Structure 1
């Protein structure tokens, strides 16, 4: 059972601290019926060139990855970056209609659209809402190049739509080789083995597929990188990227460190923190794209 745990929201004047054990969390679904637009121009710290266009049919993410940079976006809604991000999920039921109207008004062809930037496009909710699928169909109608990055095998459901796209790639986020290794940091995601099987299914369908080894957590999963790349290649991957852990705000850093102390031994936590500080020049965070891509020490 998860209990409510949120660092103070920097955009709020007030914060609450429970006396005794916090209450258990519960999943809440909110519908945002009239978003102004679906295509967002976002600055991606871990992407060469910086700017990219994204479509997010959901806000928040049930997967609960403790390191996720998108946690801070929930604070803009008045929620917390901790358990609120995992349990207060915003759904945009009109996303396909709004996306279609937006593309109709676009004078120039979209260069590339990513699904997604601030959430996983294949949350469990997608199985019933089918918003990502319908938005992919819209992109196919307008010949929009698409990139998908996900942790979910549910993407295999949409192979027929992905095959309609002239320019498409699917990346599986796979920073850990085993369930035991992934559980402390992404406890509610599909197990790595299921993601590798889905990768193979996508590749066998003739769709370009890759692996995203992100984040690399210093002192924890660097040694897995060669095995992850080998396993991905054997599963049909033809491309890969990696990025070092990026704790994007004070609240994310607080939540990440707190969860490490809950789920890992003191020895393991000390090893990770010391390694992160070595790579971060004495800090837990890496400030630039180059630092997160190449690190600071000879090891990188």
Structure 2
């Protein structure tokens, strides 16, 4: 790896220009030289937590190929720093960059539990699974400090409402007490993202995520507590982790996962430039090969925005990925089923406790 000028502990290595802003900034050589002479840091690389106050917290997902109907994101931006993350572009709507700002300026929604409770108590709301982390990871490092995700889970339990979780952080195990109670009524499903079995790859691809060992351990412990786990082998990046599909599938199956899912990487919006800058700095020897193979999956582009195709890819390389994933499912998940979550209890708990009149 070429370590020169690498910003340690971060995925993105620069801040891209916000497409919605009329202003742009750059680190000029004369400014960097001034900082050097003054023995000052041009960039502190510290994470900032910034409170925001949305009026609603449950989001309707209109995209037909995402696999969820409603999502809830306690945080915007994500310190995990996964270079491929599709959520990076959403940070531009808040006036920040999809690059380093996405990893270092984390927006905190402290009122999320209260907003969620109001939503679940609404007379017009009918129970359907709400997924925590439809955009950014609900168990990213900020959760250890703010515990917003845990407070939301307490609300879901109080109202006996089904909830899904997507994470790549072992911090989810902190909330086993709540998760096991939800699981008793089939109200919880956890999706654990496992992108590679190589720690070297993980460190540069997803710098502030839990180790692979920790993630596999998380799947095992959740499964042992009868909490259903789907492993997301996503994204599959040709030339980086595409050769790991079968070993990945076996590893998550051996640790108790009931199913697997996947996507083929697509680098939409600002992510294309960020990814290319990242790979030329971290994996320069294979940068051209990887970028060309990604393009081959998307008709010659790093991105494809067509619903139903954008996350699946097309062409020979994408077909090989699909065939390998089909083989993995047949070999390791033949007799396993991820359960459909229970939506029948919530109407009895609209006021936060069992409605006795519904029992007669």
Report the TM range for the smaller structure's normalisation: over 0.9
1:133-156 Cα shifts (integer Å, max 9, x gaps) = 110111122222111110100101
Find the counterpart in structure 2 of residue 171 from structure 1: 191
Structure 2 distance, partners of 1:118, 1:62, is 13
CA displacement, residues 166-218 of structure 1 (integer Å, 9 cap, x when unaligned):
32111111111111122222112111111001110100011001210111101
The alignment status of 1:234 with 2:289, answered yes or no, reads: no
Quote the residue 2:263 is aligned against. 243
Q: Is residue 153–residue 194 contact of structure 1 (8 Å, CA) maintained in 2?
A: yes
Corresponding position of 2:337: none
Question: 2:279 aligned to 260, 284, 287, which one?
Answer: 260
Deviation at 1:294, TM superposition (A): 5.3
Shift of 1:44: 4.4
Cα RMSD (Å): 1.8
- Cα deviation code 1:54-100 (max 9, x no counterpart): 11111110000011111111100100000000000111112111111
Contact 2:72 2:133 in 1 (8 A): yes
- The answer to whether the 8 A contact 1:109-1:144 is kept is no
Q: Once the 2 structures are TM-superposed, how far is the Cα of residue 291 of structure 1 from its aligned partner?
A: 4.9
Separation (CA, whole Å) in 2 of partners of 1:191 and 1:260: 21
Deviation at 1:101, TM superposition (A): 1.3
Distance 1:240 1:114 in 2: 17
Q: Which runs of 5+ in 2 are unaligned?
A: 1-6, 33-41, 323-360
Q: Distance in 2 between matches of 1:100 and 1:164?
A: 18
Kindly indicate whether the alpha-carbon contact (under 8 Å) linking 1:178 and 1:191 is maintained by their aligned counterparts in 2. Answer: no
Measured at CA, do residues 175 and 61 of structure 1 come closer, stay the same or move farther in structure 2, by a change above 3 Å? same
Which aligned pairs between 1:70-89 and structure 2 lie closer than 5 A?
Answer: 70-89=87-106
Larger Rg: 2
Aligned residue pair count: 295
- 1:284 aligns to what? 302
The answer as to 2:27 corresponding to 1:10 is no
Give the whole-Å Cα distance in 2 for the aligned partners of 1:282 and 1:294.
11
Contact 1:215/1:242 (<8 A) preserved: yes
Displacement of 1:128 after TM fit?
Answer: 2.5
Aligned pairs for 1:1-300 within 5 A: 1=7, 5-20=14-29, 21=32, 23-32=43-52, 34-44=53-63, 46-48=65-67, 52-165=69-182, 166=185, 167-249=187-269, 251-265=270-284, 267-288=285-306, 289-293=308-312, 295-297=314-316, 298-299=319-320, 300=322
Aligned partners of 1:55, 1:121: CA distance in 2, in Å? 9
Extract unaligned runs of 5+ from structure 1.
none
Structure 1 residue runs of 4 or more that deviate by more than 4 Å after TM superposition: 1-4
